[in-house]
Amino acid sequence: MDKGLSVRVFLAALLAIGMFLPAADQTPLPERYKKWLEEDVVYLTTPMEKQVFLQLESDRERDLFVNAFWKQRDPITLTDHNEFKDEHYRRIEYANKQFGRLSSLPGWKTDRGRIYISIGPPLTINRYEGFSSIYPVEVWNYQGMAEYGLPDMFRIVFYRKFGSGDYVLYSPSMDGPRSLIGSSLSISVDAETAAYNEIYGNDPI
């Protein structure tokens, strides 16, 4: 049997078994496996994969699982290296360098780091800083993502709450447009319109 196929079969079997296993007492993970699960692949693992991994009892089983985990996601199995894995760790390295510099969190834990690692770099970024009418805002523009089950074109907005601290993910429903408005403007419909126009003209977030 092809080696790549065999490890994928191994992982599939583990996941199938895990569906029928009761929750077991978990032994503390060795540090390197804890880092792998809670940092390296925290945005990749499914709940079932995590459950199965935590039930493994030996380092050999864990190593086989990790190998199968990456093999299952390898887009080109005929090559010697795993392009998906290489790209994933490149994104983590970039996120830590780029988004952790001025943050109290490591870059991979920030909202921008999480999005960057999960779906990759945006096509373009629009930055709005130094405006009196709005707090600092970044708009990440994505395009050509339909093959990944996402809209072909979409935007993700980050902003600095009250004008300071880390950039955090903006939610139109949870945060609302008023959270983007700088303290120099009164909270009114006119102020919201001014904030919108500052970013998109007449195209609201």
Domain ranges in the chain are 3-73, 122-200
Question: How far is the C-alpha of 126 from the C-alpha of 201, rounded, in Å?
Answer: 13
Predicted confidence band of residue 23 (pLDDT cuts 50, 70, 90): low
Residue-level pLDDT at 186:
52
Q: What is the mean pLDDT of residues 17-44?
A: 81
Q: pTM of the prediction? A: 0.80
Contacts of 37 (CB under 8 A, 6+ apart): 29, 45, 50, 53, 54
Least confident residue range of 18-22, 65-69, 154-158: 18-22
Per residue in 138-193, pLDDT tens?
999 999 998 888 999 999 999 999 888 899 999 988 988 888 887 655 555 565 56
Please tell me what DSSP assigns to residue 43: T
Confirm if 120 and 136 have CB atoms less than 8 A apart: no
Question: How far is the C-alpha of 129 from the C-alpha of 194, rounded, in Å?
Answer: 15
Confirm if 53 and 27 have CB atoms less than 8 A apart: no
Residue recorded with tokens 């999480």: 114
